[in-house]
Amino acid sequence: MNAHPWIKKAVITAGVLNVIALLTIILALVNFTPLTLILSVSVGGALMGLAILIYIVVVITDLRKQGVL
Amino acid sequence: MNPFEESIKSAADGGLSFVAWIVLAVSLLCIVLIVAILAQDRSKISEPFGKWALLIVFFVLSPVAYLLNFSVAIEDSKQVEFCNSCHVMHGYVNDLKDPDSEYLASQHYQYRWISEDQCFTCHSDYGIFGNMKAKATGIRHVWAYYTGYETPVELYGTYNNAICLRCHAPVVSFQEEGEHSDNAAEILSNKMSCLGVDCHVRPHPEEAWKEQ
């Protein structure tokens, strides 16, 4: 995974997106309003989905590099 | 608010549910792991521990937190007070709680003919798909609330008699009422509404949406 600098950037991007998504979830838990509900379900869900997709690309790239795929 | 209402409110405000605590714990664990791996020591990204930890965070823990939060949010959004958090609903909820109101919804609320989640109970169709449809519609309503909506607020279609019938149909006195038995086919097929000039009174004041 360390061969490509873009992979580290991709992992960091996925991590940041996932942290933001998780923060929207925590916000909805501690202050449940229609706005925080929408934020956690739609924006949080979209960011988390994007983070997972980015990490899938990273995992596939890593597995290919190691000759597993 | 009288002492009885206060006692009910304080019982309902019992803090986070058990599932909500799990979501909170899992979310915090994910954030701590991500920050520990990415922010403090980025070399961990290429180590087996970092790879496996991130794999579990991205593919297991985070989706679990999201799905559990979704279920908590859906459950909490059934409450009358949640509906009342949108200004356009104030008139409807105020009428529910008005002791002098004779509207149908108010009677159902004040006599606790529906014990809890009164808005949701009367605005969701039968069965699991009815619940899912009501929740999807609810999310659409919240979205519309922030992006703009038309007034007066109206139902998307005619009110489904099946919602009334799920409680009233098994009641013998309802079945034996002449107007009901004479018009059973029309009532069951939704060709005749329960709510109307000749039958039951309006559920809510016509201009309740104006009270914001």
Yes or no, beta carbons of B45 and A1 under 8 Å apart: yes
Question: Which residues of chain A lie closer than 8 angstroms to B31, CB-CB?
Answer: 19, 22-23
Distance from CA of B31 to the nearest CA of A (A): 6
DSSP B16: S
Checking if the pLDDT of B41 tops 70, the result is: no
Q: What confidence tier does B65 reach under pLDDT thresholds 50, 70, 90? A: very high
A11 closest CB neighbour out of B30, B54, B146:
B54
* Cα A58 from chain centroid (whole Å): 12
B96 and B109 in contact (C-beta within 8 Å)? yes
β-partners of residue B200 are B195
For the entire predicted model, the pTM comes to 0.77
Rounded Cα gap, residues B162 and B190, in angstroms: 8
State residue A30's pLDDT score: 92
Task: Output the six-digit token pair for B57.
Answer: 């965070």
Q: How many CB atoms lie within 10 A of CB B83?
A: 23
Q: How buried is residue B142: exposed, middle or buried, by Cβ count under 10 Å (0-12/13-18/19+)?
A: buried
Cross-chain Cβ contact B58/A22 below 8 Å? no
B18-36 confidence digits (pLDDT tens): 899 999 999 999 999 999 8
| pLDDT (tens digit per residue) in A3-38 | 577 888 999 999 999 999 999 999 999 998 888 988
CB A29 within 8 A of CB B56: no
**Minimum Cα–Cα distance from B35: chain A residue:** A15
Give the residue from A22, A54, A68 with the most B CB atoms within 10 Å of its CB, the best one to mutate.
Answer: A22
The helices-and-strands tally (H runs, E runs) of chain B is: 13, 0
